[in-house]
Chains A and B, each alone.
Chain A
Amino acid sequence: MAEWNPFADMEALRREIDRAFEGFGPGQAPSRRVAFLPGREPRKYPLINLLEDKDNFYVEALTPGVDPQSMNLTVTPNRLTLSGEKSNAGDIKPEAFHRNERASGKFVRTIDLPVEIDEAQIQAEYKNGLLIVTLPKGEKAKPKQISVKVA
């Protein structure tokens, strides 16, 4: 039997309490979970959602204010890289700002895809600040129907 260690028990209790209160209190607003703010600290940008149907994968990325012309997509059979630049409004003097919450700058994000995709038929569309990339599944990844023979 393991040696009795009161500190380990206390640590476990503290963790349990932390878990119970996760998502409450200041700085832990629910918006944290849905945050799309480009933000000032380094973090994943852009945020993405990955969706799937029978034939395709879809990557939807939050890219408000990113000029579609500045965006670059590169792809290998199971990896998609998005890069681009969110430009700031030009030469506005810092003292002219009353509030500056929208960050700007260059970004790169690589997304590993769960299965092989057909690189030749990828389509990308930009709409209302969202980037939608349609990635058709490769032949091997598509579901196949197998009929059962009755002997």
Chain B
Amino acid sequence: MAERTVATRAQDRTPASREETRSQERYITPPVDIHETADGLVVKADLPGVSKEGLDVRVENNLLTIRGKAAHAAPGDPIYREYELVNFSRQFELNERVDQSKISADLKHGVLSLDLPKAEEAKPRKIDVKVS
């Protein structure tokens, strides 16, 4: 799966790969929804078991990184398992049309919502035609 694809013009450039150099810990790629609104992009990621303290969202060199430490919440000895909770990690490349200083994040019911507003110059504008 292509990891850093926010459908932008940057797709044909190859971003500097970070995937190979990260630590040996195990990660899961969380499923995300990305949709566009008039003001920007909304990213939603399922991060079950991640608390606010365990969540790390950062933007660096146009790279949006979502990382979460997931922890089991139930006590006791496991007798039957269908899933493991290991750390989440996913990266997306942003382009200059996202206003990186205004990104906001919200975590609710294990779902992270990120608001990526469009930069002013990227918003659609109507151009008045003067009749001379």
Which residues of A come within 8 Å of B, CB atoms?
A: 30-31, 33-38, 44, 47-53, 56-60, 62-68, 89, 92, 96-102, 114, 125-130, 132
Contact = CB atoms under 8 A, between A and B. Distances in A.
Given A50-B80, A51-B78, A65-B44, 18 more contacts: A36-B28, A49-B82, A51-B75, A62-B83, A64-B111, A68-B109, A97-B36, A98-B5, A98-B35, A100-B35, A102-B44, A102-B46, A126-B109, A128-B109, A129-B46, A129-B47, A130-B73, A130-B74
A111 B65 CA distance: 37
Contact of B36 (A33, A89, A96): A96
A44 B81 CA distance: 13
19 contacts: A31-B29, A36-B46, A44-B82, A47-B83, A51-B75, A52-B76, A52-B79, A62-B49, A63-B48, A63-B110, A89-B44, A98-B35, A98-B41, A101-B31, A102-B32, A102-B33, A125-B73, A128-B110, A132-B73
B81 A129 contact: no
Interface string B1-14: 00001110000000
A114 B42 CA distance: 43
A30 B28 CA distance: 9
A128 B7 contact: no
Contacts of A127: 73
A59 B76 CA distance: 10
A65 B46 contact: yes
B51 interface: yes
B103 interface: no
Contacts of B34: 97-100
Contacts of B46: 36-38, 64-65, 102, 129
Q: Helix, strand, loop or mixed for chain A's interface? A: mixed
Contact of A50 (B28, B48, B79, B84): B79
A128 B49 contact: yes
Closest 10 CB pairs of A and B: A129-B110, A64-B110, A129-B48, A51-B76, A101-B31, A50-B80, A60-B74, A58-B74, A64-B48, A64-B46
A51 B6 CA distance: 39
Contacts of B62: none
B31 A37 contact: yes
Contacts of A102: 31-33, 44, 46
Given A51-B75, A53-B75, A96 B82 contact: no
A27 to B, nearest CB: 11
Contacts of A38: 31, 46
A21 B37 CA distance: 45
